[in-house]
Amino acid sequence: MTPTTTSWHEATAPLWRDNLVLAQFLGLCPLLAVTTTLVNGLALGIASAAIIVVASTTMALLRRVLVPAARLLVAMLILAALVTALDLFTEAVLYDLHGALGLFIPLIVVNSGLLAHAENVASRCSVAFTFLSALSTGMGFLLVLLTLGALREIVGHGTLLAGIEMLAGDASRALTVELPFGGMLVASLPPGAFFFMGLLLALRNRLRRGAEAPR
């Protein structure tokens, strides 16, 4: 892919048009499992975005060096090393958050959407394009994690930003909002994740109906 006038448009497409979750249906397992609260979604989103930006950019830097057969292997190696380091880092610095996210930080390494980006886009495109595209992929994923996390926390627990102190220290505890209703349990259980995911998809399809000319 050679840089053209549409580069910017293409590189930012993963933010919404080619969104990892809403358009490609990838990364659903961590998405549905972690988004019981806004803070959990935020934390996993930041972690995933940081990982994909570093991994894809590194892969793009190496794209003229590696034979195609080695690309997947190298992408896995980079992702695994980054994720292991990140996992240790969160356990050392954000111990409670690490407990809340459990296995889903290590599992970033097998997030098919991120791996596909590091392998596929990064091996075909320039470093700058890959960086921007990785950033929009990460931000697109973060966006869905935040939306789903906020919706499920509001409906399921009747709170917003509960547990923010795990991420930002005790001083931020005041940011937690207690809404004047108890919460509807099902929203924070797995079926609730699917309900809200379905609502998001429906909303997206509705919004895109006008934008997308019939093919």
Partner 1 sequence: MANADGNPLLTALAVAALAAAAFYSVDAAFDWSDERIAANERARVVARLNSVLEAGLRDRDLTTTLLAVTDAELLGTDDPIDVFVLTDRGAPMATVFATVAPHGYNAEIGLLIGISPVGTVTGVRAVRHRETQGLGDAIEVAKSDWMLQFDGKALIATTPELWAIEQDDGVFDAISGATVTSRAVVGAVKNTLLYFEQHRDELYARAAAAAAETPQP
Q: Would you count residue 167 as binding partner 1 (CB under 8 A)?
A: no
* DSSP 3-state of 53: helix
CA distances from 128 to 3, 20, 125 (A): 10, 20, 8
Residue 94 has φ and ψ, to the nearest 5°, of -120, 65
Residue 70 vs 179, nearer CB to partner 1: 70
* Residue whose CB is less far from partner 1, 125 or 145: 125
Residue 42 or 122: the one with the smaller Cβ distance to partner 1 is 122
The one-letter amino acid at 65? V
Residues 6+ apart with CB under 8 A from 123: 59, 60, 63, 66, 68, 71
If the CB atoms of residues 93 and 171 are measured against partner 1, the closer one turns out to be: 93
Q: In the complex with partner 1, which residue's Cβ is closer, 80 or 177? A: 80
Judged by CB under 8 A, the stretch of 17-25, 44-52, 91-99, 131-139 that binds partner 1 is 91-99
With binding defined as CB under 8 A, does residue 74 bind partner 1?
Answer: yes
Give me 138's structure tokens: 């990460």
- Of 7-15, 21-29, 39-47, 87-95, which segment contacts partner 1 by CB under 8 A? 87-95
- Gap between the Cα atoms of 13 and 30, Å rounded: 22
Query: Interface mask (CB under 8 A) for partner 1, residues 28-67, using x and -?
Result: --------x-------------------------xxxxxx
Residue type, 71: R
**Cα–Cα nearest to 105, from 160, 50, 165:** 50
Q: Phi-psi region for residue 32, left (φ > 0), alpha (ψ -120 to 50) or beta?
A: alpha
Token pair, residue 121, equals 């886009």
Q: What DSSP state is assigned to residue 27?
A: S
The yes or no reply on residue 85 touching partner 1 (CB under 8 A) is yes
> Which CB atom, from 33 or from 177, has the smaller least distance to partner 1?
33
Q: Considering the complex, what minimum distance in angstroms separates the CB of residue 16 from partner 1?
A: 26
- Binding site residues, partner 1, CB under 8 A: 1, 36, 62-68, 70, 73-74, 77-78, 80-81, 84-85, 88-89, 91-93, 95, 123-124, 156, 185, 188-189
